[in-house]
Structure 1
Amino acid sequence: MMQLQLSKKPKKNWQSLRQLIRKKLLLFYLKKVNWLQINQNAANQAKAAYETAQTVANEKAVALATEAAKKKTEASTTNIRQRFTVSSEYISALKIYESKTSTAEEKVQAEQTLKDVNKRDCENNKYQDNEEDKNFTISDLNKLSEAQITDLSLYASSLINQIRSAFGTTETSVSKGSVIAADRVTDGYVADNWGWESISNRRHDSATLDRAGKSFHTVSIGENLNTWQGLTGPFTLNKIKEYIYEVMLDFMFNGQEWNHDRSIVGLTSDGGETYIGTDLSVVAGAFNVHVNNINENSISFDSSFDTTKIANPYIGSQSQPSSNANLAAPKVAYETAKQANNQAQSDLDSKKVASESAILKLKKTQSELTALKAAASKLAAAQTNLSKKQAALKQAN
Structure 2
Amino acid sequence: MSEKNGELTPAHSSKQTENSHVAPTIIIVGAGPAGLMAAETVASAGLRTHIFDHMAAPGRKFLMAGRGGLNLTHSEPLPDFLNRYGPANTPLSDIVESFPPEALRAWAEDLGQPTFVGTSGRVFPQTLKASPLLRAWLQRLTDLGVELNLRHRWLGWDDTGHQIFARPDADNLLIRADATILALGGASWPRLGSDGTWTETLAHAGIGITPIGPFNAGVCIAWSKHLIDGFAGQPLKRIALNYAGRTVRGEAVITRTGLEGGCVYALNELIRDELNAHHAPIVLDLDLRPDLDLQQLTERLSTSRSRQSMATFLRRKTGLTTAAVALAREPDGRLPEDPQELAAHLKKIKLEVTELSPLGRAISTSGGVAWDAIDENMMLRDRPGVFCAGEMLDWHAPTGGYLLQGVFATAVKAARGALNWLGHPHPAKIK
Give the TM-score of the pair, scaled to structure 2: 0.19
More strand by share: 2
Larger radius of gyration: 1
Give the TM-score of the pair, scaled to structure 1: 0.20
More helix by share: 1
Bigger RCO of structures 1 and 2 (CA < 8 A, at least 6 apart): 1
